[in-house]
Structure 1
Amino acid sequence: MDKTVVVVGATGMQGRAVTRHLLTGGWRVRALTRDPSGARAQALARAGAQVVQARMEDIDSLTAAAEGAWGLFSVQPTVGSPGTAPDFTTEDEVRWGVNVAEAAHAARVRHLVFTSVAGADRHPGEKVPVNLVSKWRIEHHIARLGLPATILRPVSFMENYTGGYALRDGHLSTGIAPDTAQQLMAVDDIGFVTELVFSHPGDWIGRAVSLAADELTPVQVAAAIAEALGISLPYAQIPIEEIRALSEDFAYANEWLNERGYRADIAATRKIHPAAMDFTTWLERTGAAQVSAFLDSARATGGGA
């Protein structure tokens, strides 16, 4: 495989997984990052990626980085994502996604893969959370440019349960109601599917698919983590009004998950990727170690986990 794929956001969670699977598949990878000297970027370089400096707010740097590449993987952070500036907005996310699409168009990239989010295609038929709207706007721009593209729409990541977002004060805590099942997908499996998509462009260009590998209530998630680690981990729902006091958008997103949810077809995902991990398998392979490392660090620093 002598084709080059550009990975935007290569040092992020999805970008690292995609880069790893592309390299394993024999692709040449051009990993874009704003800080080539950073530890994650250097790890990608040691793994065999060509690390290139580019910023999603700078379309010229993106276009230069995409020149001569066959494919491009695009992902943008949402408001509140780790590593984003406190003043990062939904409009910033859309602008970054549009910039990447424009750069792919200018560089005549032959296959763009964009990770959106499950449910984005239900806008504007019903009111949806702002992150679904932002992803849909980026999808719409990709279509308007006529790019040869594939849209992947994953559900919530299993990795969301490995840090302070959900682990605090000896509990698993989110805004999801205890008896509401939430669809989940491991980030590593997004990397696998992305490499599959790039490897079979004739089967995938022009398609948009939602991806989910498991569906569990938060009580079941807490019980699975507790069993894997041999600890007590009760579930405590965060009242929506407490979330609303911090962010109306986050409050609505949790209400939407409780009342509507992603509705991805898990059986269809397993036809694409039969080995996609369920939550228990993910815990056995990497998840339990990640949760344990976070809890150990939190205890060592006197954190609230």
Structure 2
Amino acid sequence: MLTVAVTGATGAQGGATARALLAAGHRVRALTRRPGSPAADALRGLGAEVRHADFDDRRSLEAALTGADSLFAVTTPFGTDTATEIRQGMALVDAAAEVRLGHVVFTSAAHADRGTGVPHYESKHLVEQHLRTAGVPWTVIAPAAFMDNYASGWTLDGLRDGSFAWPMPGDRPLTLIPASDIGAFAALVLQRGDEFAGRRIDIASDEHTPNQMAEILATAIGRQVAHQEVPLAHVRTRSSDLAAMFEYFTAVGLDVDVTSLRRDYPEVGWHSFTDWAVAQDWSTLLSAAPAHQ
């Protein structure tokens, strides 16, 4: 039985990893700045130990990590900025090395090691590089585009009007993955640390064009849905970082070997986009107040 410290445990990737580890019978130490939050309480209800940890407080990180076997590390610039993500990510890696953890699994982004020019990919790559030199056994898992984003934000707003609003041409393929598969794969890597140490793995569970995704969403929702290409200029007014990402998706794409991943790691239980779409409670999602008014 492992004791795994999980950052971002109240978020999508960390939460999915925590649940997968708990289901496999391991101890989860959920690290959060808000141990009294409803999301933290939900993790306690599943059997996790919740510890306070602040990425800007090195002592709190080391105290939270001491005694753990391994760490699942996730960073994000959203809500702060990429400079903060880099600083906090490196501090987390340094704390893991200081307490001599047996394995650090860092979740990055597919292609982040390929000089994409996408700000929040480049920031993650800098944390990856720091991890490689920290003197602690490491693995980097790098997810493709998140399916979960299609049930929130401007995409969900568009679906209310029968439009799959996505800033890519309708015929350009994109590799995809739901948070649940990221968590399942991360749990597999953590449980088989010796096998995965020193490896960087791009991961995805399916691949579709926006036109195909619109068709799948239409079937799952039970209403007509058509792809509408959102101009990059419009995205840029909201986020130059996201605009750069979609520009990369269109010009280069995210090639990930989905077939090999499904063949080599069937125990992950990879979900197709159709699997994910039919599992969503669209009636509730679509009846909620729009995110952008």
Per-residue CA deviation, residues 95-130 of structure 1 (Å, 9 max, x unaligned), is 11111101100111001000011001212xxx4211
CA distance in 1, matches of 2:95, 2:130: 12
- Secondary structure at the aligned position of 1:121 is classed as coil
**% same residue:** 36
Instruction: Find the partner of 1:94 among 48, 70, 86.
Output: 86
Instruction: Find the partner of 2:286 among 286, 295, 298.
Output: 295
Amino acid at match of 2:274: T
CA distance in 1, matches of 2:109, 2:28: 24
- Secondary structure at the aligned position of 1:172 is classed as strand
Q: Normalized against structure 2, the TM-score is what? A: 0.94
1:160 aligns with 2:152: no
Q: Which runs of 5+ in 2 are unaligned?
A: none
C-alpha displacement of 1:303? 6.1
Per-residue CA deviation, residues 108-157 of structure 1 (Å, 9 max, x unaligned), is 1001000011001212xxx4211111111000000111220111011011
Q: Which is further off, 152-161 or 165-174?
A: 165-174
| Number of residue pairs the alignment of both structures matches | 288
- Secondary structure at the aligned position of 2:227 is classed as coil
1:276-291 to 2 correspondence within 5 Å? 276-284=270-278, 286=279, 288-289=280-281, 291=282
Amino acid at match of 2:18: T
1:257 maps to what in 2? 249
1:136 aligns with 2:142: no
Q: Normalized against structure 1, the TM-score is what? A: 0.90
C-alpha displacement of 1:194? 1.1
- Secondary structure at the aligned position of 2:224 is classed as coil
CA distance in 2, matches of 1:101, 1:292: 42
CA distance in 1, matches of 2:139, 2:50: 24
1:153-192 to 2 correspondence within 5 Å? 153-169=142-158, 170=161, 171-192=163-184
1:57 maps to what in 2? 56
- On the 8 A contact 2:147/2:176 being kept in 1, the answer is yes
- On the 8 A contact 2:214/2:226 being kept in 1, the answer is yes
1:67 aligns with 2:66: yes
- On the 8 A contact 2:154/2:292 being kept in 1, the answer is no
Q: Which is further off, 49-58 or 265-274?
A: 265-274
Instruction: Find the partner of 1:206 among 195, 198, 215.
Output: 198
1:222 aligns with 2:221: no
Instruction: Find the partner of 1:108 among 72, 75, 100.
Output: 100
The Cα RMSD (Å) is 1.6
CA distance in 2, matches of 1:283, 1:226: 9
- Secondary structure at the aligned position of 1:168 is classed as helix
Amino acid at match of 1:262: L
Q: Which is further off, 94-103 or 54-63?
A: 54-63
